[in-house]
């Protein structure tokens, strides 16, 4: 009787052993550090891979003589402001401990917490501008929240020094796609161990753990103590809590799951079916039940059909068709106000009912609230100025923001009168409100240049009776442009349609007009 034995995945430590592999890697990192004056930028997320790379870099610098540590190493961590709060708190505290330890040990390591600009944050775009929750085909968040802050820092390093070396915890074992991309970049190397960066010129990438598996990373973190005094065992516990079964088993074959597969990210992420890590944290630890409002809000954002929440017009006011139906645009005012209410209510509930360490939790910052208020009032002409009202209703506290810089000629009282006159006709109300706001803003100007263009743009955006009327006009415009629909001489052409050019007058009609 033959018996099949489980096959253990190959480890990076198999050839020469754990200690010798680490010694060689530390020596390699030291030689690369001493080879030039190009500054290093270490990407640190607080996760296992970036922790392992930062730990290796720290060990390499600590092994050099003080006079050799002449080159600054920048440790950057990007906080999207919608990170899992537990992970965000972990990383923020880690950076503080790291800075103190580097100073005490005389190491040239400087941590930097990077955040997106206020105009790029998740809530400013979703609640302020009305961008729908991210989807695979409209993934507007990654570039604004993660890539731009880190790239701006790296580009500044390149501008100052001509080059930069980016030290990352990317590994080929993460996925076949990652392995393929890393191998392709390796083929373009002009220096040993340094691959070009696909999007940042004059930026080279050093990946010291590129051949490590998940288990190699955990072996290293458990066998070698964290040199800046943070607990790698607590990191393991955090990953363990984010695993659905609550366990990090000893991996003996390819079928055994590793807790290293746990993924942390933005708690608002709708690019995945479920936030498994947050759900597992709540399931495995009663103390984490304060995160339930976050999970509920995230699930509300991930509604299957959000058309009732969105305008039938695109952000620029146009009506675009797909299978003869309008492609939905930004969230309506009512939906944006509802998202802000839910967010502030969740923040208020967590502060009141959560453990001590989340009593000051900020799900949305005051600068974000101020930018949302500006967008609503100034850009969207919603002079009813609802942010202070919503804030007070949701939190029970007066709005802490300053008065608007704009001395609004119209305000909530005018909006209330307008509502009472127009009633429930949303399109009519928005059209009149915007026309009034534009005219009042131009009234105070010495030269009223651009007034008629702004009024015409508003009319073209809001002259429809309703969505059905807008859809019918869009279909007629499309068909006319395709020359599929014959002109109807008995019907009076719409002046706006004539201006669009898809209705043309005959020579006789043009003469009489």
CB 204 within 8 A of CB 165: yes
**In sequence order, what are the residues at sequence separation of 6 or more whose Cβ sits closer than 8 angstroms to the Cβ of residue 247?**
240, 259
What percent of the chain shows pLDDT beyond 70?
Answer: 87
Give the domain range for residue 501: 467-512
CB 467 within 8 A of CB 427: no
Q: How far is CA 166 from CA 39, 70, 248, 310, 379, in A?
A: 9, 17, 31, 41, 39
Separation of alpha carbons 375 and 130, rounded Å: 10
Question: pLDDT band for position 256 (50/70/90)?
Answer: very low
> Which run of H or E residues covers position 216?
helix 214-223
Q: Looking at 241, 256, 279, which one is the last position of a domain?
A: 241
Specify if 335 maps to a domain.
no
pLDDT top residue among 443 and 143 = 143
Report pLDDT digits (tens) over 185-231: 777 777 888 988 888 889 999 999 988 998 999 999 999 999 999 88
Specify if 163 maps to a domain.
yes
Question: pLDDT band for position 82 (50/70/90)?
Answer: very high
- The CATH number linked to 27 is 3.40.50.620
Strand ordering across the sheet containing 203-206: 109-114, 73-78, 40-43, 164-167, 203-206, 194-196
Residue that is written with structure tokens 């003589």 in the block: 65
Specify if 46 maps to a domain.
yes
Structural domain count, the chain: 2
Per-residue confidence (pLDDT) for residue 263, from 0 to 100 = 56
Q: Which of 165-169, 236-240, 426-430, 497-501 has the lowest mean pLDDT?
A: 497-501
Q: Looking at 199, 214, 241, which one is the last position of a domain?
A: 241
What percent of the chain shows pLDDT beyond 90?
Answer: 46
The DSSP letter of residue 188 is T
Helix intervals (H) in 381-425: 387-395, 412-422
Specify if 485 maps to a domain.
yes
* CA 38 to chain CA mean position, Å: 30
Residue 248 has pLDDT above 50, yes or no: no
First CA to last CA across the chain, in angstroms?
Answer: 99
Q: If you average pLDDT over residues 122-131, what whole number do you get? A: 97
Specify if 150 maps to a domain.
yes
CB 121 within 8 A of CB 145: yes
Specify if 475 maps to a domain.
yes
pTM above 0.95, yes or no: no
Pairing of strands 203-206, 194-196: antiparallel
Per-residue confidence (pLDDT) for residue 479, from 0 to 100 = 83
Separation of alpha carbons 485 and 491, rounded Å: 14
Q: Which of 6-10, 82-86, 448-452 has the lowest mean pLDDT?
A: 6-10
Per-residue confidence (pLDDT) for residue 251, from 0 to 100 = 31
Residue 182 has pLDDT above 70, yes or no: yes
Q: Which of 124-133, 135-144, 279-288, 371-380 has the lowest mean pLDDT?
A: 279-288
Render the burial of 53-71: b for 16+ CB within 10 Å, e for the rest: bbbbbbbbbeeeeeeebeb
Sign of the Cα torsion 311, 316, 319, 322 reads negative
Separation of alpha carbons 274 and 242, rounded Å: 13
Query: In this structure, how many other beta carbons lie within 10 angstroms of the beta carbon of residue 197?
Result: 18
Q: Looking at 220, 241, 262, which one is the last position of a domain?
A: 241
Residue 106 has pLDDT above 90, yes or no: yes
Render the burial of 183-193: b for 16+ CB within 10 Å, e for the rest: eebbeeeeeeb
Specify if 491 maps to a domain.
yes
Specify if 506 maps to a domain.
yes
pLDDT top residue among 259 and 317 = 317
Separation of alpha carbons 175 and 493, rounded Å: 59
Report pLDDT digits (tens) over 20-53: 999 999 999 999 999 999 999 999 988 899 999 9
Report pLDDT digits (tens) over 375-426: 999 899 898 899 999 999 999 999 999 887 655 667 788 888 888 888 888 9
Separation of alpha carbons 277 and 287, rounded Å: 15
**In sequence order, what are the residues at sequence separation of 6 or more whose Cβ sits closer than 8 angstroms to the Cβ of residue 254?**
7, 9
Residue 471 has pLDDT above 50, yes or no: yes
């Amino acid at each position: 009787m033959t018996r099949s034995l489980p096959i253990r995945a190959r480890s990076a430590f198999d050839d020469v052993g754990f200690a010798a592999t680490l010694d060689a890697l530390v020596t390699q990192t030291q030689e690369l550090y001493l080879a030039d004056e190009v500054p290093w930028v270490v990407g640190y997320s607080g996760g296992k891979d970036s922790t392992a790379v930062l730990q290796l870099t720290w060990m390499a610098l600590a092994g050099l003589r003080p006079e050799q540590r002449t080159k600054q190493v920048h440790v950057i961590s990007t906080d999207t402001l919608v990170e899992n709060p537990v992970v965000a708190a972990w990383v923020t505290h880690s950076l503080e401990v790291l800075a103190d330890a580097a100073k005490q040990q005389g190491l040239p390591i400087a941590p930097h917490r990077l955040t997106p600009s206020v105009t790029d944050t998740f809530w400013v775009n979703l609640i302020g501008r009305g961008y729908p929750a991210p989807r695979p085909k409209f993934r507007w968040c990654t570039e604004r929240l993660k890539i731009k802050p880190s790239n701006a820092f790296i580009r500044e390093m390149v501008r100052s020094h001509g080059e930069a070396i980016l030290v990352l915890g990317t590994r080929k074992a993460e996925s076949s796609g990652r392995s393929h991309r890393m191998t392709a970049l390796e083929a373009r190397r002009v220096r040993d161990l340094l691959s070009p960066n696909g999007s940042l010129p004059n930026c080279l990438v050093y990946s010291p753990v590129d051949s490590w598996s998940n288990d190699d990373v955990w072996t290293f973190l458990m066998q070698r103590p964290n040199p800046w005094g943070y607990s790698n065992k607590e990191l393991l516990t955090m990953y363990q809590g984010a695993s659905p079964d609550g366990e990090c088993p000893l991996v003996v074959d390819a079928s055994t799951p590793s807790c290293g597969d746990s993924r942390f990210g933005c708690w608002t992420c709708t690019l995945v079916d479920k936030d498994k890590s947050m759900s597992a944290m709540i399931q495995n630890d009663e103390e984490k039940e304060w995160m339930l409002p976050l999970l509920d809000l995230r699930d509300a954002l991930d509604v299957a059909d959000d058309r009732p929440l969105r305008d039938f017009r695109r952000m620029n006011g146009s009506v675009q068709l797909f299978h003869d139906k309008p492609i939905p645009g930004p969230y309506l005012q009512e939906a944006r106000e509802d998202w802000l209410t839910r967010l502030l209510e969740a923040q208020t509930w967590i502060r009141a009912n959560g453990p001590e360490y989340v009593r000051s939790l900020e799900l949305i910052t005051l600068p974000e609230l101020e930018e949302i208020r500006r967008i609503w009032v100034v850009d969207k002409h919603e002079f009813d100025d609802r942010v202070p009202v919503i804030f007070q209703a949701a939190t029970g506290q007066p709005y802490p923001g300053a008065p608007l810089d704009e001395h609004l000629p119209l305000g909530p009282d005018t909006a209330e009168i307008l509502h009472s006159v127009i009633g429930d006709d949303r399109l009519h109300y928005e059209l009149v409100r915007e026309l009034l706001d534009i005219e009042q803003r131009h009234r105070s100007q010495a030269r009223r240049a651009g007034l008629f263009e702004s009024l015409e743009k508003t009319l073209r955006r809001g002259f429809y009776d309703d969505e059905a009327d807008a859809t019918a006009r869009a279909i007629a415009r499309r068909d006319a442009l395709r020359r599929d629909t014959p002109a109807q001489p008995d019907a009076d052409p719409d002046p706006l349609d004539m201006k669009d050019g898809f209705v043309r007058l005959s020579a006789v009609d043009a003469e009489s007009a």
